[in-house]
Amino acid sequence: MSESHTHSHPQGLVHHFDDLKQQNEAATLGMWSFLITEILFFGGLITAYIVFRGLYPEVFLHASHTLDWRLGGVNTLVLLCSSLTMAFAVHASHEGKRDLAFWYLILTILFGTVFLVVKYFEYKSKVDHHLIPGTASFTFTEGGVDAGKAQIFFFLYFAMTGVHALHMVVGVCLVGWIARNVKKEMYTTDYYSPVEMTGLYWHFVDIVWIFLYPLLYLIDLTKTGGGGDHAMVNVKSLMKFFG
Amino acid sequence: MSGTTTATQTATASTATMPAKHFMNAKYGLKSWLLTRDHKRIAVLYLITVTAMFALGGIYAALIRLELLTPGGDFLSADAYNKAFSAHGIIMVFFFLLPSIPAIFGNFLIPIQVGAKDLAFPRINLLSWYLYVIGAALALIAIVAGGVDTGWTFYPPYSSQYSQSHVLLAGLGVFIAGFSSILTGLNFVVTIHKMRAPGMTWFRLPLFVWAHYATSLIMLLGTPVVAITILLLAVERVFGVGIFDPAIGGDPVLFQHLFWFYSHPAVYIMILPAMGVQSELVAAFARRRVFGYSFVAFSSLAIAIIGFVVWGHHMFVSGQSMYAGLVFSILTMLVAIPSAVKAFNWAMTMYKGSISYETPMLYAIGFLGLFVIGGLTGLFLGAMGLDIHLHDTYFVVAHFHYIMVGGAVMGFMGALHFYWPKISGRMYPDAWGRLSALIIFIGFNLTFFPQFIAGYLGMPRRYYMYDTDFHFWNLMSSAGASVLAVGYIMPLFYMAWSWIYGKPAGPNPWNAKGLEWTTQSPPTTFNFDETPIWNEEAYDYDPEESEAEYEKEFGTIN
């Protein structure tokens, strides 16, 4: 830590904090608290998913087939890479290597954009195949399951990945703004908590996808893998308990 | 009534003058208020908006009581009645009770009580007020445009296939106001953890702060779930995908689970801050340290934690298994323990205290009695077998009004009267305050106690007509409501009067202990000239000293 400007007013310190240490700790705790609320936000959706997968396992199995697990897999890989570059960017900021941090942030944006582009094509194929829930043209015949119930799967698919994609868009904008600030030399080795906080957010959004991918894309794999049926039995008994 | 405190009070009050510079005259103009980041100004903004919503919710309550004056449906139609009680519930729960004490008094006091210049994130604090206003505006538009007839719980299929009313708009309002609540909670948690002044350790914090810490945890962990639930409901309505509607493959019980997972803990968002206020009031006017400080502190956390696992007691008759009902019933009984710890400890604090009966203390004593009745009748409802009989009757209505109005609103009024001198810098006329407290207490009991009886006898809630057998109880209830209204309207006048003509209060008109009473009233923009150092225990009152002063004036007690 540099000691050149600890007196008077260090760069980035807001008036109502005593020092940068306090400010950084407050920012960190605030961000973690926010992420906890996010977990519960997605938790509500995942609860709905569990309930309906328990109610209509066959429908979910067949509906899940329409998702391309390869595209989802590529996106998983892309997001993991973006988290890595984000972590590097935070580390570079900590070491005061501004140029390096900047380019890592740009890379992160790039990966994030690739993810969103892939997502766009996935959504587009759903539109082409008339799989948009709530529209009159919705048709789903695979496996002979009830199309109305299949709508629930597709609704959950769009809700979960849609809210996630929205978080990605916000994330890309945030990282862009942070990259601009890094370029303008607004951060120091003592004060780079915005980079770190954006990193936390980015990793969180990444982790959400790690949960969404198997839930939505890999249903059949868990079934043929042998563990799926046991899991389903447990969900069923749980649902009996809660009505 | 203790003459000493009143004597010293008038002494300080008469010599005190208004400080030349304080947060309200630091800057002038509408812009300086609407763009302020000062937690005290934001608290005042909340005070104005929340009070307005309270008045509006009160008007709907008046409509309900007016309709129930007679057994027939001769004032409102069935549909209008549905809309009136829905509007009353939605406004009172989401736009009055949830933000009332935390967003006004928590906002104003927590930074001062922990010795900070402001909340950790002042901009987010302002944002939360705007979200609240936008949410409230949307709900109001929904009500003006034709109303909502689902009740405040938005249960499907009332809110989906059978509803022709403006559920979407009202739901959006609640959704947005929810984020206001989340941000307030986040700000409090971070401020309490990271912004405490040197010497202000966790166990020196006022219990008001502990209560708000527990409240904030619920706001953080519960509110996102109700947000996503409302979002799902909205999508179901717009796109017709069956999430909650059984006719199209949905699961209505899922809605109830998700909704009560938030909305039961939300009850504790409403009552815990009032409990925090209660601790402050009882200690200050009994001149004793709160009995069992750490037990009261941890009981707040216990209530917050247990409160998250009792939601199923709202659903004993909605198809969850008997075993789930059993578990929820037992867990519900557990909440009574920390609640009782608090009630007993407040009583013990008063025991052998040097009690004086200024307005805030009257509210505190009222709170204690009413909260105990509300809490104990909650146990009736938490007992699975008895609940089958009492479910959806006026017994439930009476129970939660004893908690919400008898508890949370009494706490709100107590806080308003206790901290008004700190906020405005001026004293209100105490005699008027006491009179209104008395009227509210009488009016409240007259309104809601008969409802216990009517409910026990089987009168169902949410109907605009009722059997003539219940007429007597409803007559009493409606009469009580008009008394209650008088009690609530009075403070509007004398508080407004005192804002201009009240005697300057001085920093500590109640001779109370705590960091907030060491600053000038009203405080300056950054509360303290320099970061304070705090060396006292919480509630460092000396009952013996108070007693000695009392004896000097009135002779020996025993």
What is the 8-class DSSP label of residue B202? G
Rounded to a whole number, what is the distance in Å from the CA of B551 to chain A's nearest CA?
A: 46
A242:B238 CB<8 A: no
Q: Widest CA span of chain B, in angstroms?
A: 78
Does residue B170 contact residue B136 with C-beta atoms inside 8 Å? no
Q: What is the pLDDT of residues A21-70, one digit of tens each?
A: 999 999 999 999 999 999 999 999 999 999 998 888 888 988 998 999 99
- pLDDT of res. A4: 42
Question: Is A120 a member of any domain?
Answer: yes
Does residue A239 carry a pLDDT above 80?
no
Question: Is A221 a member of any domain?
Answer: yes
Does residue B406 contact residue B367 with C-beta atoms inside 8 Å? yes
DSSP H helical ranges for B195-309: 207-239, 252-286, 293-306
Rounded percentage of chain A residues whose pLDDT exceeds 70: 91
Residue type, position B62, single letter:
A
Dihedral pair phi/psi, residue B465, rounded to 5°: -120, 160
Please name which of A203, A205, A181, A202 lies closest in space to residue A192, comparing C-alpha atoms: A181
Question: Is A9 a member of any domain?
Answer: no
Pick from A2-6, A112-116, B546-550 the range whose average pLDDT is largest.
Answer: A112-116
**Which residues of chain B are within 8 Å of residue A148 when distances are taken between CB atoms?**
242, 248-249
Rounded to a whole number, what is the distance in Å from the CA of B411 to chain A's nearest CA?
A: 28
- pLDDT of res. A224: 45
Please name which of B491, B403, B474, B476 lies closest in space to residue B442, comparing C-alpha atoms: B476
- pLDDT of res. B241: 85
- pLDDT of res. B127: 97
**Which residues of chain B are within 8 Å of residue A47 when distances are taken between CB atoms?**
254, 257-258
Question: Is A239 a member of any domain?
Answer: no
Which comes out higher in pLDDT, residue B312 or A239? B312
Spatial separation of the C-alpha atoms in residues B378 and A214, rounded to whole Å: 43
Question: Is A242 a member of any domain?
Answer: no
Does residue B172 contact residue B91 with C-beta atoms inside 8 Å? no
Spatial separation of the C-alpha atoms in residues B49 and A100, rounded to whole Å: 49
State the best of A13, A16, A45, A51 to mutate against chain B, taking most chain B CBs within 10 Å: A16
Say which CATH number the domain at B405 has: 1.20.210.10
- pLDDT of res. A8: 62
**Which of residues 46 through 75 in chain A touch B, CB cutoff 8 A?**
47-48, 51-52, 55-56
Dihedral pair phi/psi, residue B504, rounded to 5°: -55, 135
End-to-end CA separation in angstroms for chain B: 16
Assess A152–B contact: CB distance below 8 Å, yes or no.
yes
Q: Which domain holds residue A113?
A: 34-234
A30:B120 CB<8 A: yes
- pLDDT of res. B9: 46
Confidence of residue A237 (pLDDT cuts 50, 70, 90): confident
- pLDDT of res. A225: 41
Spatial separation of the C-alpha atoms in residues A88 and A101, rounded to whole Å: 7
Residue type, position A141, single letter:
T
Question: Is A7 a member of any domain?
Answer: no
Q: Which domain holds residue B236?
A: 3-17+25-554
**Which of residues 198 through 237 in chain A touch B, CB cutoff 8 A?**
none
Spatial separation of the C-alpha atoms in residues A242 and A153, rounded to whole Å: 21
Total Cβ atoms within 10 A of residue B512 = 20
pTM value? 0.93
A25:B195 CB<8 A: no
Total Cβ atoms within 10 A of residue A98 = 18
ipTM: 0.89
Assess A137–B contact: CB distance below 8 Å, yes or no.
no
Size of interface A-B (CB pairs under 8 A): 122
Q: How many domains does chain A have?
A: 1
Q: How many domains does chain B have?
A: 1
Spatial separation of the C-alpha atoms in residues B395 and B62, rounded to whole Å: 19
- pLDDT of res. B4: 41
Confidence of residue A232 (pLDDT cuts 50, 70, 90): low
- pLDDT of res. B558: 53
Q: What is the overall mean pLDDT for chain A?
A: 89
- pLDDT of res. B353: 87
Rounded percentage of chain B residues whose pLDDT exceeds 90: 83
In three-state form (DSSP H/G/I as H, E/B as E, the rest C), the secondary structure along B56-76 is HHHHHHHHHHHHCCCCCCCCC
A242:B232 CB<8 A: no
Taking CA–CA distances from A132, the nearest residue in chain B reads B239
- pLDDT of res. B221: 95
Q: What is the pLDDT of residues A153-172, one digit of tens each?
A: 999 999 999 999 999 999 99
- pLDDT of res. B239: 82
Does residue A74 contact residue A66 with C-beta atoms inside 8 Å? no
Question: Is A226 a member of any domain?
Answer: yes
- pLDDT of res. A230: 55
Confidence of residue A133 (pLDDT cuts 50, 70, 90): confident
- pLDDT of res. A240: 77
Residue A136, burial from CB neighbour count under 10 angstroms (0-12, 13-18, 19+)? exposed
Question: Is A17 a member of any domain?
Answer: no
- pLDDT of res. B557: 57
Say which CATH number the domain at A40 has: 1.20.120.80
Q: What averages of pLDDT result for each successive group of 10 residues across chain B (558 residues)?
A: 42 71 92 95 97 97 96 92 96 96 97 96 97 97 92 87 83 95 97 96 97 97 94 86 85 92 95 97 95 96 96 90 92 95 96 92 97 96 92 96 96 97 96 97 97 96 94 97 97 95 94 94 92 92 78 69
